[in-house]
Structure 1
Amino acid sequence: MASDVPMEIGSILQSASIKRHPSPKHDVNPSTAASAKHPVRFSSYHDPDAASNSAEDEIPLSVLQPLPRQKTMPPLPDLRFEQSYLKSIEKAESWKGVLWITFRDQVVMCFAQGVIWTLILSGWRHMNRASKFSGRSVGSRIRRWWWGVNNWKIPTETASGKFRSRKLAHDVSEVSRGFLRYYKDQFSNAALD
């Protein structure tokens, strides 16, 4: 009985979205005159014998050529929340598993996506803040123009002037060498395993 709880929850959620008594006036797409018509084009070839068999107000069938159908798009995937949620909780063992999956998908993942997006935007802003204002490229001209329009003070110190410390460069190179040694020691035998 305890293992049937996740399946029961899934069936309740699925059955709640089914229309039990659909209305033909509102829920069914009625056929229109356009759905009964077949697109055709007129042939440049004219058969005089076919024209004699048809009345004056009719177009002979030998003149009409049906247009080939265009390739249609593949069917759209089902992106409704219920379907993906039911697929997620399908393998849950108990109600605690259902709660954990719900919390993970609806709270943790949304939070993580927001944090990642904020970090990307903050990094982009920081990188653009440190970009150069000198040069002849289109980007630097637009940047100088934009700062001038907004009456912002254009920075005179270049970004490379901030990092001319020889001690900092030496420390960074030592850390890089140490990391490479560690990486080689740890993963050099990975292919042999």
Structure 2
Amino acid sequence: MDSSLPTEVASTIQASHIRRHPDPRQDIAPSTAADKSELVDIHEVKRSHLDDDDHDIPYSVLRPPKKHYNLPPLPDLRFEQSYLRSIESADTWWKVVLTTIKSQVLIPLAQGVLLNLAMAGWQHWNKSARVSGDSVGARFRRWWFGVNNWSLPNSRKRI
């Protein structure tokens, strides 16, 4: 069996969705309002639009120029690159299948389960801490409910 077969299969699968001859009536995005926009220069405002008041505040004070931060380039987080990198060492077709199942089914499933467990735990902790906690907000809430003769929702007896 050829060792480059898994890579060729993956490349063929990925490239199969590319349209070589797109239809202009269906595949070109319609024009938007942004296509017809005109740039406005604040410094070229006519004097007739301004008040005749000599105490105008300059635009540089009202709207100072934005600070430019030099951020590093964003990492490439597309699935395609990481998937190709993970199957390039696969020498048989079943290793490609196992890698695909792992990256498409198992890892998203594990992430979803862990996120759901974390959210359920947070909701449970937050619900019990909302009324029975010892923070200033919880004490104020218990006091307010007592002043108004309201019953605390799911309140626990404090020892």
TM-score interval, smaller chain: 0.5 to 0.7
Q: Higher relative contact order by CA 8 Å / sep ≥ 6: 1 or 2? A: 2
- The answer on whether the counterparts of 2:86 and 2:99 sit within 8 Å (CA) in structure 1 is yes
Normalising by structure 1, report the TM-score: 0.47
Runs of 5+ consecutive residues of structure 1 not aligned to the other structure = 46-70, 159-193
Partner of 1:155: 156
**Code of the aligned partner of 1:156:** K
Report the CA distance shift for 1:38/1:128 in structure 2 as closer, same or farther (over 3 A).
closer
Q: Deviations over 1:101-142 (max 9, x none)?
A: 112112221232133223323432453465362656124445
Deviates further, 19-28 or 84-93: 84-93
| Structure showing greater Rg | 1
Deviation at 1:155, TM superposition (A): 0.6
Aligned-residue identity in percent: 39
**Structure 1 counterpart of 2:21:** 21
Counterpart contact for 1:89–1:101, Cα < 8 Å: yes
Give the alignment of 1:137-148 within 5 angstroms.
Answer: 137-142=136-141
Map 1:1-193 to 2 at 5 A: 1-29=1-29, 35=35, 39-41=39-41, 42=44, 81-128=79-126, 131=129, 133=132, 135=134, 137-142=136-141, 152-158=153-159
For residues 14 and 25 of structure 1, the distance between their equivalents in structure 2, rounded to whole angstroms, comes to: 25
In the alignment of these two chains, the number of paired residues is 130
Q: CA deviation at 1:13?
A: 1.0
In 1, the alpha carbon distance for the partners of 2:73 and 2:26 equals 23
Q: Is the 8 A contact 2:3 2:92 kept in 1?
A: yes
Question: Counterpart amino acid of 1:39?
Answer: L
* C-alpha spacing 1:6/1:149, structure 2 compared with 1 (3 Å): farther
Aligned mates of 1:134, 1:33 — CA distance in 2: 53
Cα pair 2:142 2:152 within 8 Å, conserved: no
Shift of 1:156: 1.0
- On the 8 A contact 2:6/2:96 being kept in 1, the answer is yes
Gaps of at least 5 residues in structure 2 are 48-67
Question: What amino acid is aligned across from residue 107 of structure 2 in structure 1?
Answer: M
Aligned pair in 2 of structure 1 residues 144, 114: CA closer, same or farther (>3 Å)? farther
Bigger Cα displacement from structure 2, 74-83 vs 107-116: 74-83
SS of corresponding position for 1:3: coil
